[in-house]
Amino acid sequence: MADYDFDVLVIGSGPGGYVAAIRAAQLGLKTACAESRETLGGTCLNVGCIPSKALLHASELFDEAAHGTMAKWGVKASGVELDLDGMHGSRMEAVKGLTQGIEFLFKKNKVEWLRGRASFASADTVKVGDRTVRAKNIVIATGSSVTPLPGVDVDQKRIVDSTGALELAEVPKHLVVIGGGVIGLELGSVWLRLGAKVTVVEYLDQILPGMDAEVRKEANKIFKKQGFELRLGTKVTGAKVEGAGVKLTVEPAAGGTAETIEADVVLVSIGRRPNTDGLALDKAGLKVNAKGQVDIDHSFKTGVPGIWAIGDVVPGPMLAHKAEDEGIAVAENIAGLTGIVNHDVIPSVVYTMPEIAGVGLTEEEAREHGEVKVGKFPMLANSRAKTNRETDGFVKVIADAKTDRVLGVWMIASVAGTMIAQAAQAMEFGATSEDIAYTCHAHPTHAEALKEAAMAVTGKPIHI
């Protein structure tokens, strides 16, 4: 340690980086975290998970009050008005509270925040702003940013990325979303609820790639019913800002006649790419792979001794909880413990209404591995969902036909994001569908739908 400034230097303070830094400090390691943003917390807390969920929650309340859902429950609200500035105020308050919370945790755990952009000078030396520090271990946790679409230049006014779409000063009349993935559907839902017409242009022939096919199909139906216009199998070939609007040229993905769509605002959400620009990885002896990611082994080691990497910058799903778990594991590995992340059991959630969630293999993937049994249960037959008038969706349990071990769970339900935790835990413990079916679930809860779907694997649900 003598000539090192730190035992651990983490580059980036997103959910991966800040968690790694705190865990390393908890384990007695002298730790610093470099962050170039004005506030800690990375994409997730500043311009991702948290502000998007603030707007999803607020827009849902507005929708319920303004469009009759509350009235159906005998709660009559008259003169409901949208105070968009107020909504943005709540979003910013949520972000401020949580990012300052990380600053507090850094102080509490004695993690030093090195303010500025970090770049490698060598394998153990990093420049951050006007400081140069040496660290025994360096964790790259620089996250990701929006993938640009050639010909559609983001100006954050008329053509926005997710950050711009969180900050629109007025509700667009027509929002065109390029990309029917998680960001497009979550932020599309926000503006749809607040009164925009929303068109989603998706290159593939279905929304939400990577999810279970039946879930994707059902989600498609639900979003259409909510008023989304979904243009599948369609590619955008160009965008021109004209006056207060944008003219988008689109054509069938397979080729065909081009047409123009006029929008007030266009959201580009076609995926994200790892952040490695400006890091001078070459000076550390590191290279990125064909996808621009930093390759690692199962313990988060890169090819260079003492350099580790986690989160969105490494292969795997770009999710905050995956980054956090990797943050804990990498710190434990650095401290000489055994930090492990089970990448087969990472839940994913789309926070639309209803929510869409999954963990493990899709039915299609599971069938590629061997024979499976599938149990399904509709939310329409769940007493709590029916009472709450949240009947859209279903739960599906996929189990190995021979061992009954649960291979995947997929669901669309108003509170699927909360329900999926139970499925993830069951899978982590190696549960069979029978284990879930014979676990007592509180009544009346949406979670009973998971129990019934598990019962349906062997054909024995009670309520259908």
| Cβ(447)–Cβ(251) below 8 Å | no
Q: Out of 183, 192, 307, 397, which residue is the one contacting ligand FAD (CB under 6 A)?
A: 183
**Residue 461: contacted member of ligand FAD, ligand NAI, none (CB under 5 to 8 Å, by partner type):** none
The enclosing H or E element of 16 equals helix 15-26
Pick from 12, 179, 347, 360 the residue near ligand FAD by CB under 6 A: 12
Q: Where are the beta strands (DSSP E) in 162-283?
A: 174-178, 197-201, 229-231, 234-242, 245-252, 259-263, 265-268, 272-274
H or E stretch covering 10: strand 6-11
Q: Smaller CB distance to ligand FAD: residue 144 or 220? A: 144
Nearer CB in complex with ligand NAI: 374/416: 416
Q: Name the residue nearer to ligand FAD (CB basis): 311 or 461.
A: 311
Choosing from 57, 443, 446, 463, the catalytic residue is 443
Q: Catalytic annotation on 298?
A: no
202 binds, among ligand NAI, ligand FAD, none (CB under 5 to 8 A by kind): ligand NAI
Binding site for ligand NAI (CB under 6 A): 149, 178-184, 186, 201-204, 209, 235-236, 269-272, 317-319, 348-351
CA-based radius of gyration for the chain: 23
- Please report, for residues 138, 281, 294, 323, 464, the alpha-carbon distance to residue 309 in angstroms, rounded to integers and kept in the order given: 8, 12, 7, 10, 48
Choose the one of ligand FAD, ligand NAI, none that binds residue 203, judging by a C-beta under 5 to 8 angstroms depending on kind: ligand NAI
- For residue 464, CA distances in Å to 56, 433, 440, 458, 461 come to 33, 18, 18, 14, 6
| Among the residue ranges 60-68, 137-145, 336-344, 422-430, the one whose residues contact ligand FAD (CB under 6 A) | 137-145
Q: CA 150, CA 239: separation in Å to the nearest integer?
A: 10
Output the smallest distance, CB 53 to ligand NAI, in A. 8
Residue 118 has which token pair?
């970090």
Task: Pick between residue 162 and residue 199 the one whose CB is nearest to ligand FAD.
Answer: 162
Helices 49-66, 84-109: inter-axial angle, 10-degree rounding: 150
Considering CB distances under 5 to 8 angstroms, the limit depending on partner class, which of ligand NAI, ligand FAD, none binds residue 34? Answer: ligand FAD
Name the nearest CA neighbour of 7 among 165, 135, 120, 93: 135
% helix, strand, coil for the chain, step of 5: 35, 25, 40
| Residue, CB closest to ligand NAI | 181
Q: Which is nearer to ligand FAD, 43 or 432 (CB)?
A: 43
117 contact, one of ligand NAI, ligand FAD, none, CB 5-8 Å limit per kind: ligand FAD
What is the Cα–Cα distance from 10 to 17, expressed in whole angstroms?
A: 6
Q: Which residue type does 422 have?
A: Q
Partner touching 452 among ligand NAI, ligand FAD, none, CB below 5 to 8 Å by kind: none
Q: Are 200 and 180 in contact (CB under 8 A)?
A: yes
Angle (nearest 5°) at CA 53 between 48 and 56: 125
Of the two residues 25 and 207, which places its CB atom closer to ligand NAI in the complex?
207
- From the list ligand NAI, ligand FAD, none, partner contacted by residue 149 (C-beta under 5 to 8 A by kind): ligand NAI
Helix (H, G, I), strand (E, B) or coil at 134: strand
99 binds ligand FAD (CB under 6 A): no
Binding residue count for ligand FAD, defined by CB under 6 A: 36
Contact pattern for ligand FAD over residues 42 through 81, marking x by CB under 6 A: xxx---xx--x-----------------------------
Q: What residues are labeled active site? A: 443
Q: By CB under 6 A, name the binding residues for ligand FAD.
A: 11-17, 34-37, 42-44, 48-49, 52, 117-118, 141-144, 162, 183, 275, 278-279, 311-312, 318-321, 323, 351
